[in-house]
Amino acid sequence: MKTVAIPKFFHEVFGKRSTVLELALTIFFSVGMSIFLLTCTYSEWKELEIWKIIVVVLLALDINGGVIANFTLSTNNHYKAHPKARLVFILLHVQPVILAHLLWNYFIPCIYVWGYTIISALIVNALIRHPAQRTIAAVFLTMGFSGLFLFFSSLPKFLFITLLFYLLKVVFSFAVDHYAKREE
């Protein structure tokens, strides 16, 4: 597959070199899913002020794109080479807190998801060399999904789905070293 060099400004998102296919899939999913989600939930956010809509769109693009980008070999390798950057990146994921301020003031579910996600991701990241890291991350992810479905299923659809993708992005897609060789 054809690879391309990524400009330094985008190394944190795409790594240093990526395949054209992975870049295209990441961008397509980020833009496509954001358009689909925002279109299907238009009635939930149409009354927001324009600056809030812009921030919501940017957050949707970021979260949706990160779900896929963080699975790529190039992004995985970038953070394997920069473990402190991975830790900082986990800690900087405050999107649910921002969403709580922008959308309908759903502070309790947003803070729950944010706190649960960051703690889970830090644990998973600490297990970077553990042979069961992916499985442990999957347990945290499904527990987080279950908590959202059981306790917060009445959230507006946009917020609910965005929080699900946020959990997936940070706990499983980002915190896991998907390309590590595992001992049997």
Which of these, 121, 145, 117, lies nearest to 133 by C-alpha position? 121
Asked if 100 contacts 107 with a C-beta cutoff of 8 angstroms, the reply is yes
For residue 156 the two structure tokens come to 């507006």
Signed CA dihedral, 179, 21, 85, 162: sign only = negative
- Position 184 scores a pLDDT of 64
Mean pLDDT along residues 123-152? 96
Question: Across the chain, what does the average pLDDT equal?
Answer: 94
Distances (CA, A) of 174 to 102, 113, 184: 25, 16, 23
For residue 169 the two structure tokens come to 């992005």
| Cα distance between residue 115 and residue 101, in whole Å | 16
Mean pLDDT along residues 50-55? 96
pTM of the complete model: 0.94
